[in-house]
């Protein structure tokens, strides 16, 4: 009997079970399906900062914004990892014309200059290609999606 027929018979009649490793079957991450992830996760915090950088690059505001809080976070395994975030961002006292470390920028306290937005973003991280991009960015009426 040829090896093709042996394989066919084995997989059709004998091999009706799954051949995945037991650890793989127990995973909580399903490729393609978003799932909730802690907003305190360091990778989520990094993705939130990437969102703020994208906002600052696209905004024509005179001041830099930075992340106040990640309100909701989901992760999706696609070609890389996609973070789906709802983030609150606020205007800082640091003007855009100079380079600043956002961690050293305080938030505006004066009423006319104090401003916050809630943003939805999708941050796509393809580690092996060293690519990090924000194809979707929407902040209260502003849409900078690709």
CATH code of 98's domain: 3.10.450.10
Residue 85: inside a domain: yes
pLDDT in tens, the chain (146 residues): 555 444 444 444 544 444 444 444 555 556 778 999 999 999 999 999 999 999 999 999 999 999 999 999 999 998 899 999 999 999 999 999 887 899 999 999 988 899 999 999 999 999 899 999 999 999 986 565 66
Residue 2: inside a domain: no
Sequence-ordered strand ranges (E) for the chain: 35-36, 63-78, 80-95, 116-126, 131-139, 142-143
Give me the pLDDT at residue 124, please.
96
Residue 10: inside a domain: no
Residue 14: inside a domain: no
Terminal Cα-to-Cα distance of the chain (whole angstroms): 56
Total of domains in the chain: 1
49 is in which domain, residue-wise?
28-143
């Amino acid at each position: 009997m040829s090896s093709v027929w042996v394989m066919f018979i084995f997989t059709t009649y004998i091999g009706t079970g799954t051949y995945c490793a037991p650890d793989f079957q127990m995973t909580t991450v399903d490729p393609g399906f978003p799932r909730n992830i802690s907003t305190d996760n360091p990778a989520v915090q990094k993705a939130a900062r990437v969102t703020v950088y994208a906002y600052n690059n696209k905004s024509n505001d005179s001041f830099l914004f930075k992340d106040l809080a990640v309100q909701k976070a989901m992760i999706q395994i696609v070609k890389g990892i996609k973070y789906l975030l709802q983030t609150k961002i606020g205007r800082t006292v640091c003007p855009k014309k100079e380079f600043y470390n956002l961690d050293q920028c305080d938030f505006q306290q004066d009423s006319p200059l104090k401003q916050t937005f809630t943003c939805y973003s999708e941050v796509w991280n393809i580690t092996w290609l060293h690519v990090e991009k924000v194809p979707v960015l929407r902040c209260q009426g502003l849409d900078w999606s690709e």
